Amino acid sequence: MTKALFIVDVQNDFTEGGALAVAGGDAVAERITAHLAAHAGEYAVIVASRDWHHADSDNGGHIALEGEPDFVDTWPVHCIAGTVGAEYDPGLEVSAVTHHVRKGQGIPAYSLYEGTTDDGETVAAILTARGVTEVDVTGIATDYCVRASALDALEHGIHVRVLTELVAGVAPESSEAALAELAHAGADLVGAA
């Protein structure tokens, strides 16, 4: 079986001090880096995604430019292309990443599958071309983009493992619910390798 690693949205705006900071984000970045140091060679593909929103745009209604965000469908300004907030967290070492994808370019996007490489290649095409049958999922946030990415991988017929020590969520209750949903859908929830 050919295995891939997903690193979902480990960006400055989603870690401590960011526009949509998730508690424990910096620690997750460092733990993913340690996981890569020990296990990168086990993966045929390592895909890292970043939210990459247009400046001065609501990005298809995703960003609340007027009024208060509802934190369900609309969000504060975050991960604007070319800003520090959109860059990878400094605790994440990305030298082993084989494919970088950007998502949410003008539209709402939660799943890593909605991203493309700079030359327009989709994640589905990347995985299919390399015969990937298994994916380990890591990143931020458990209850949003990690959840959406893992569900999409399952829908593509890929065996999914969520590495539970390498994810961080917005809230404990919604993160637990997301993990339960993923387990029910067929994902394996596993601790550190």
Instruction: Give me the tens of pLDDT residue by residue for the chain, a chain 193 residues long.
Output: 699 999 999 999 999 999 999 999 999 999 999 999 999 999 999 999 999 999 988 899 999 988 899 888 889 999 999 999 999 999 999 999 999 999 999 888 999 999 999 999 999 999 999 999 999 999 999 999 999 999 999 999 999 999 999 999 999 999 999 999 999 999 999 985 5
Q: Domain 9-173: give its CATH architecture.
A: 3-Layer(aba) Sandwich (3.40)
Active site (annotated) includes residue 136: no
The angle that helices 147-155 and 172-185 make with each other, rounded to 10 degrees, is: 10
What is the arrangement of strands in the sheet containing 45-51, beginning at the earlier edge strand? Answer: 99-103, 45-51, 2-8, 132-140, 159-168, 188-190
The one catalytic residue in 13, 103, 136, 152 is 103
The answer to whether residues 106 and 57 touch, using CB atoms and an 8 Å cutoff, is yes
* pTM higher than the cut 0.85: yes
Query: Look-up: residue for tokens 């593509």?
Result: 156
Rounded Cα–Cα distance for residues 43 and 126 (Å):
13
Domain regions of the chain by residue span:
9-173
Active site (annotated) includes residue 79: no
Amino acid at 107: I
Rounded Cα–Cα distance for residues 143 and 14 (Å):
13
Helix (H) or strand (E) holding 101: strand 99-103
